[in-house]
């Protein structure tokens, strides 16, 4: 059985009787390994749960997995379902292979929006998401993200920075190709450049 829950924060709000009963049952089932819960949130879950006072009931029993960026073949398969080659090229340039931004801009273009206005709208719409990604990074990671705006060569990197960058690659916030670390997509790159500079 798959149970889809939309707007979980609203369900957990006082007065809906979910915070003490329904969500407690889900937690108990998760502890007994009879239930696995999967969040498709693009925001930092720890911050969301902390703000909603749900940190203990859920994060203590959770396993955090990240999917990173899509493989090239998967991104191409997604974009080839209704976009021209030129449209797909704009979507990839703006969103990189990050799943949520790529889905956002591909959907906008598929629905008839011209690529350039769709790119501008995506940057505005994803500002809170990018901000969540930025805030969830440690100070050393933020410095490395800032350096990745221009690209960071693998050669000569100190071991701790290499490990940090590879963790960022696993999260999809950085790509590693041909011996160089870079930021995926112009929209994320521009966001980091603005934050890096103050």
**Are 141 and 163 contained in the same domain?**
yes
**Are 124 and 141 contained in the same domain?**
no
Query: Does residue 84 lie in a domain region?
Result: yes
Provide the domain limits for residue 53: 8-59
Query: Does residue 107 lie in a domain region?
Result: yes
In tens, the pLDDT along 103-118 reads: 999 999 999 999 999 9
In tens, the pLDDT along 23-59 reads: 777 778 877 777 776 776 666 666 666 666 655 555 5
The pLDDT of residue 196 is: 86
| Domain count for the chain | 3
Six token digits for residue 187? 């929209």
The pLDDT of residue 66 is: 73
Query: Does residue 32 lie in a domain region?
Result: yes
**Are 83 and 112 contained in the same domain?**
yes
Report the alpha-carbon distance of residue 198 to residue 126 in Å, rounded. Answer: 19
**Are 49 and 92 contained in the same domain?**
no
End-to-end CA distance of the chain: 48
**Are 124 and 145 contained in the same domain?**
no
The pLDDT of residue 119 is: 94
DSSP state letter for 59: I
User: Distances from the Cα of 87 to the Cαs of 33, 69, 70, 94, 118, in angstroms?
Assistant: 44, 19, 18, 11, 10
**Are 142 and 122 contained in the same domain?**
no
Contact between 104 and 122 (Cβ < 8 Å) = yes
């Amino acid at each position: 059985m798959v149970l889809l829950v939309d707007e979980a924060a609203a369900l957990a709000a006082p007065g809906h009787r979910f915070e003490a009963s329904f969500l407690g049952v889900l937690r108990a089932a998760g502890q007994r390994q009879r239930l696995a819960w999967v969040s498709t949130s693009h925001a930092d879950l720890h911050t969301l749960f902390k703000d909603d006072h749900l940190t203990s009931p859920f994060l203590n029993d959770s396993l955090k997995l990240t999917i990173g960026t899509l493989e090239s073949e998967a991104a191409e398969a997604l974009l080839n379902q209704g976009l021209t080659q030129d449209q797909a090229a704009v979507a990839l340039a703006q969103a990189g292979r990050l799943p949520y931004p790529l889905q956002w801009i591909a959907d906008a273009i598929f629905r008839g929006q011209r690529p350039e206005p769709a790119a501008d709208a995506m940057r505005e719409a994803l500002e809170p998401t990018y901000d969540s990604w930025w805030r969830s990074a440690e100070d050393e990671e933020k410095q490395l993200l800032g350096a990745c705006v221009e690209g960071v060569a693998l050669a000569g990197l100190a071991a701790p920075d290499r490990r940090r960058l590879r963790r960022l690659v696993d999260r999809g916030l950085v790509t590693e190709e041909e011996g160089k670390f870079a930021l995926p997509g112009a929209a994320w790159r521009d966001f980091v450049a603005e934050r890096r500079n103050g």
